[in-house]
A = this chain, B = another copy of it.
């Protein structure tokens, strides 16, 4: 079964981007780059919601393309014909990811914001959570976690201080 990880960088108050999508607060330190490099070696698939895709496309993420990485964008409104090379998924995200986990491949990365993550937590298909908590209160922006109807128990795997006063934490999702 392929592992699904939700994560990224966030502020102490839980935003993955500031107001208007601002990411100028991110520390691209050597530690952070090493963690990203190590993580990306395990992934061959990226899942994102429409909003994240649109930000990624706008900021030069190449329309959702990440080299050899297969990208799925979950949206009921995006026109797939406008984005060749991209796979737009309009069916229920939980059911789709459940099948995807059983297919052949490497690990799967869920990129924020929290809307796609919420539906995947609700569906119980996320296996790990990893965040690089930055030493800032952004005050507003794109939340990493949205309101959910049930609790999710986590198990701390790793916790360490990295460059720039960031705290890197990873968790296994237990229920």
A55 in the interface (beta carbon within 8 A): no
User: Nearest Cβ distance between residue A116 and chain B, in whole angstroms?
Assistant: 15
Contact B136 A151 (CB under 8 A): yes
B135 and A153 within 8 A (CB): yes
CA distance A151 to B153 in the complex (A): 30
Q: How many copies does the complex hold?
A: 2
What are 13 of the A-B contact pairs (CB < 8 Å)?
A12-B129, A12-B154, A12-B169, A135-B154, A135-B171, A136-B151, A136-B152, A137-B151, A139-B147, A139-B149, A140-B149, A167-B167, A167-B169
Instruction: Indicate whether A1 reaches chain B with its CB closer than 8 angstroms.
Output: no
**Least CB distance, A113 to chain B, in whole angstroms:** 13
Residues of B within 8 A of A133 (CB): 169
A12-B171, A167-B159 as given contacts; A145 in contact with B137, CB under 8 Å? yes
Categorize the interface residue count of chain A. 35 or more
A150 interfacial contact with B, CB 8 Å: yes
Q: Does A18 contact B (CB under 8 A)?
A: yes
**Complexed CA–CA distance, A18 and B151 (Å):** 9
Complex Cα–Cα for A148 and B145 (A): 17
Residues from chain B with a CB closer than 8 A to the CB of A18 are: 151
